Amino acid sequence: MDIFIQQLINGLTLGSVYALVALGYTMVYGIIGLINFAHGDVVMIGAMAATMIATALIGGDPTVSAFTVLAVGLLVSVPLCMAVGWTAERVAYRPLRRAPRLAALITAIGVSIILQNLAMMVWGRNYLNFPQILEPRVFELAGARMSSLQMAIVLIAALIMGALLAVVHKTRLGTAMRATAQNREVAGLMGVNINTVISAAFLIGSALAAIAGMMVTTYYGVAQYTMGFMLGLKAFTAAVLGGIGNMVGAMAGGLLLGIIESLGAGYIGDITGGFLGSHYQDVFAFVVLVMVLIFRPSGLLGERVGDRA
Amino acid sequence: MKFAFSRPALVVALAAASFAGAAHADDIKFGFAAPLTGPQSHYGEDMQNGLTLALEEANKKGIKIDGETANFVLVSRDDQADPRTAVQVAQQLVDEDVDGILGHFNSGTTIPASRVYHDAGLPQLAMATSPEYTAQGYDTTFRMMTSDTQQGAAVGKFIVDNLKAKKVAIIDDRTAYGQGLADEVEKAVKKAGGEIVRREYTTDKANDFTAILTNIKAAEPDAIFYGGLDAQSGPMKRQLVRLGVKAPLVSGEMTRSDTFLKLAGDAADGTYASLAGVPLDKMAAGKDFAQRYEARFKKAPGVYAPYAYDGAWTMITAIEQADSAEPEKYLPKLAGIERKGATSEHIAYDDKGDLKEISVTIYEVKNGKWEMVETMVSQAN
């Protein structure tokens, strides 16, 4: 039983990161119907920038507090990612807003490649390590262990998601976003500034991506320029799993995917009698994606989107 | 085929071809390929530096081959640690008429490339450790390092006899190297009376191991062996500590690097790793090599540089003995070589092309540094 709980905790941590990234996919999709494949690379840029800042701060003064390192990291990587996300939308996606969807999709893949190569030029090809500044305290829960870092990741993710839901449902900007998602033209006629709303979606998504990137690099201790690709694909799967365009769905999908992966990798060897091993961990995400697309194309919490497709 | 030409004809042809190039026709060219970009480029650079040092020294010595002062040149190619790229690069090197091959680095790239070199008749000295490399029946394949059979036997014995571990868990990254080494360790552990309580797998691109480590924790092993790269073993060690696993992590020579220490951070202490040969500072020639390396590259040699250095000198010595850089002439000298190097008192090959001397040293991380535990003679072969 304690193994099961441990796997749940592992999955929950992983899932919280997926959920944050998935929100970025789903917000953009909900509003302009674009699958922003460059989103995973925005996460990577957040992780790389935070790692670089942390290394520089520790290098300059080894006694600097963990709080300062994380705060400065956040202050640099969040605006940087927001700038990257906003620029991508302004330069690459806005001119194609009325073009066929396929054009925008391919552009998104192009932006992803550009971001990866830029990161490679700036930070090099080797693995960067995030300095170990946090001495995680470990708590025992029914035989399973959860570190303070894991708790922080889950809690911060939950707080951010709650705040985001409040923004979308209680503020003027949120109302404008929901209106734009329902019908862009009519919302425009009602006096909603479409461009502002879309830019806001990219800015918020990129800020979440930066935070997710910082979580990944502090938790695993490594960052590399190719890390955004797989993470982005997984988060996209999570968004589809929950119902792309649906924010609560993205959160639920992210958490669920993390847990499925963790339990899958933990038990597949035993279930299949060693025929399939735990290196199939990454396969689970995509098996789930295929299953959802076959049996429930609109996702677990998604609505029928026939009128928009 | 290059042997269809007589040497003077070849010289004339090459002179014409390289009219604008920097290399001279009578240079002795060694082809070298390793990952020089990508996540494994730190290994490739290390190997390249070792070779460069050997070639520069040989050129300074003014070795006479066939009456002329030889000039050794390294032709470097990036194989990106990718088997398909490796074969293309191998063909390019053959087309450039190199006189011998000092590469590749990874087992996964060396094995497919070795066929290309064998077909061209080129002797190959590779860093690869997979047993498969020299088991193909080619007379052109030689190693710079131990094979996994030799290393695995020593590590398995160390785990059971020295760490007193009866229950061992094994993880590998499913690459030719990781899987091969893990399999050999598994055999050796069983032979020494240990038990494999869990076998788990990951990939050479993963960074989350919590799911498999949780399973391993439940199996309560006395020691954990990982066959794979430092980019994985570093984060893995951190996650082991976080999960509260007390069993030591043991790994192969790819983990015995500074990158591992960097990535594992404070969690690194108590990790064991094996490395072929005797520590450099235990041998006069080794200490001397380390000093010259530091003077030349302004940093300490990595794991592979000394083996690459020895490998290059082994090939140069064979050419010197044969008084010819023609592969068919110096190949028998290479197969029968007997010399002192920086990593071993006598470098010699068995009939497969594996090194005869098979001492393996085990290191442990103490206070964030790799320190030697003991040198053992492997029982394999």
- State the DSSP H helix or E strand holding residue A178, giving kind and residue range, or none if neither: helix A172-182
Tokens (6 digits) for A152: 């922080």
What's the half-sphere exposure (Cβ side, CA atoms, 13 Å) at A84?
31
User: CA-to-CA distance for B106 and B219, rounded, in angstroms?
Assistant: 32
Q: Is residue A229 part of a domain?
A: yes
Q: Provide the pLDDT for residue B213.
A: 93
Q: Is residue A137 part of a domain?
A: no
Which residue out of A1, A5, A6, A224 would a mutagenesis test of the B interface target, given it has the greatest number of B Cβ atoms within 10 Å?
A6
Q: Provide the pLDDT for residue A142.
A: 74
The answer to whether B263 contacts A277, with C-beta atoms less than 8 Å apart, is no
Lowest mean pLDDT among A171-175, B23-27, B104-108, B146-150: B23-27
* Residue A280 DSSP label: G
User: CA-to-CA distance for B257 and B380, rounded, in angstroms?
Assistant: 25
A125-155 pLDDT tens trace: 778 888 877 767 888 877 788 888 899 999 9
Domain span at residue A269?
Answer: 2-125+149-295
The answer to whether B238 contacts A221, with C-beta atoms less than 8 Å apart, is yes
Q: What number of other Cβ atoms are within 10 A of residue B197's Cβ?
A: 16
pLDDT surpassing 80 at residue B380: no
Question: Between B202, B234, B235, which is nearest A279 by CB?
Answer: B202
Q: Provide the pLDDT for residue A309.
A: 33
| Contact partners, residue A220, CB within 8 Å, separation at least 6 | A130, B207, B208, B235, B238
Q: Given CB atoms, is B270 within the 8 Å cutoff of chain A? A: no
Q: Is the dihedral of CA B46, B366, A218, A14 positive or negative?
A: positive
Query: Strand, helix or coil at A218?
Result: helix
| Contact partners, residue B143, CB within 8 Å, separation at least 6 | B125, B126, B127, B128, B129, B133, B134, B349, B353, B354, B355
Q: Provide the pLDDT for residue A9.
A: 92
N residues, chain B: 381
- Chain A residue whose CA is closest to B244: A145
> Are B141 and B119 contacting, i.e. CB atoms less than 8 angstroms apart?
no
- The amino acid that residue A288 corresponds to is V
Tokens (6 digits) for A151: 């708790």
Q: What is the mean pLDDT of chain A?
A: 89
Tokens (6 digits) for B210: 């919590």
How would you write chain B as a 3-class SS string? CHHHCCHHHHHHHHHHHCCCCCCCCCCEEEEEEECCCCCCHHHHHHHHHHHHHHHHHHHHHCCEECCEECCEEEEEEECCCCHHHHHHHHHHHHHCCCCEEECCCCHHHHHHHHHHHHHCCCCEEECCCCHHHHHHCCCCEEECCCCHHHHHHHHHHHHHHHCCCCEEEEEECCCHHHHHHHHHHHHHHHHCCCEEEEEEECCCCCCCCHHHHHHHHHCCCCEEEEECCHHHHHHHHHHHHHCCCCCCEEECCCCCCHHHHHHHHHHHCCCEEEEECCCHHHCHHHHHHHHHHHHHHCCCCCCCHHHHHHHHHHHHHHHHHHCCCCHHHHHHHHHCCCECCCCCCCECECCCCCECCCEEEEEEEECCEEEEEEEEECCCC
* Mean pLDDT calculated for residue range A296-308: 66
Q: Provide the pLDDT for residue B7.
A: 54
Partners of B30 in beta bridges:
B74, B100
Percent of chain A with pLDDT over 90: 55
> For residue A117, what is the domain's CATH number?
1.10.3470
Angle between helices A281-295 and A227-242 (to 10 degrees): 30
pLDDT surpassing 50 at residue B113: yes
Q: Provide the pLDDT for residue B362.
A: 94
Strand order in the sheet with B359-366: B195-201, B167-172, B223-227, B249-251, B272-276, B359-366, B369-377
> Are B111 and B133 contacting, i.e. CB atoms less than 8 angstroms apart?
yes
User: CA-to-CA distance for A256 and A237, rounded, in angstroms?
Assistant: 11
Q: Alpha-carbon dihedral of residues B82, B88, B92, B93, nearest 10 degrees?
A: 50
Lowest mean pLDDT among A110-114, B103-107, B203-207, B275-279: B275-279
- pLDDT category, B19, cuts 50, 70, 90? very low
Tokens (6 digits) for B12: 């004339």
Put simply, the chain B residues between 184 and 203 with a CB less than 8 A from any chain A CB are 199-203
Tokens (6 digits) for A56: 């520089």
B308-327 pLDDT tens trace: 999 999 999 999 999 999 99
Q: Which residue has the higher pLDDT, B143 or A277?
A: B143
pLDDT surpassing 50 at residue A230: yes
Work out how many domains chain A is built from and give that number: 1
* Mean pLDDT calculated for residue range A299-305: 69
| Contact partners, residue A191, CB within 8 Å, separation at least 6 | none
User: CA-to-CA distance for A136 and A92, rounded, in angstroms?
Assistant: 41
* Mean pLDDT calculated for residue range B12-34: 65
Q: Provide the pLDDT for residue A105.
A: 92
Q: Is residue A136 part of a domain?
A: no
Q: How far is CA A229 from CA A10, A37, A226, B310, in A?
A: 21, 9, 6, 40
Q: Which residue has the higher pLDDT, B266 or B167?
A: B167
A48-104 pLDDT tens trace: 999 999 999 988 888 888 888 999 999 999 999 999 999 999 999 999 988 998 999
Q: Provide the pLDDT for residue A3.
A: 84
- pLDDT category, B3, cuts 50, 70, 90? very low
Q: How many CB pairs under 8 A join A and B?
A: 100
Angle at B316 between CA B97 and CA B330, to 5 degrees: 65
Q: Given CB atoms, is A147 within the 8 Å cutoff of chain B? A: yes
User: CA-to-CA distance for B331 and B349, rounded, in angstroms?
Assistant: 12
Q: What number of other Cβ atoms are within 10 A of residue A243's Cβ?
A: 25
The answer to whether A129 contacts B263, with C-beta atoms less than 8 Å apart, is yes
User: Cα B145 from chain centroid?
Assistant: 5
Q: Provide the pLDDT for residue B141.
A: 96
Q: Which residue has the higher pLDDT, A303 or A194?
A: A194
Q: Cα-flanking dihedrals φ and ψ of residue B272, to 5°?
A: -110, 145
Q: Is residue A15 part of a domain?
A: yes
What's the half-sphere exposure (Cβ side, CA atoms, 13 Å) at B138?
24
Q: Given CB atoms, is A18 within the 8 Å cutoff of chain B? A: no
User: CA-to-CA distance for A248 and B34, rounded, in angstroms?
Assistant: 48
Percent of chain B with pLDDT over 90: 66
* Residue A93 DSSP label: I
Q: Do domains B2-145+281-349 and B149-276+360-377 have the same CATH topology?
A: yes
- Chain A residue whose CA is closest to B218: A3
In angstroms, the separation between the Cα of residue B310 and the nearest Cα of chain A is 27
| Interface pTM, i.e. ipTM | 0.80
| Contact partners, residue B42, CB within 8 Å, separation at least 6 | A126, B257, B259, B302
Q: Provide the pLDDT for residue A39.
A: 96
Closest CA to B249 of A12, B261, A110: B261
Q: Is residue A307 part of a domain?
A: no
Tokens (6 digits) for B2: 């290059």
pLDDT surpassing 90 at residue A304: no
> Are A222 and B231 contacting, i.e. CB atoms less than 8 angstroms apart?
yes
A149-160 pLDDT tens trace: 899 999 999 999
The answer to whether B242 contacts A136, with C-beta atoms less than 8 Å apart, is yes
- pLDDT category, B242, cuts 50, 70, 90? confident
* Mean pLDDT calculated for residue range B129-153: 91
| Arch. (CATH architecture) of B149-276+360-377 | 3-Layer(aba) Sandwich (3.40)
Q: Report domain extents, chain B.
A: 2-145+281-349, 149-276+360-377
Between strands B68-69 and B72-78, the pairing is: unpaired
Tokens (6 digits) for B327: 């592969």
User: CA-to-CA distance for A86 and B328, rounded, in angstroms?
Assistant: 63
Exposed/middle/buried for B67, CB within 10 Å: 0-12, 13-18, 19+? exposed
| Arch. (CATH architecture) of B2-145+281-349 | 3-Layer(aba) Sandwich (3.40)
User: CA-to-CA distance for A107 and A112, rounded, in angstroms?
Assistant: 9
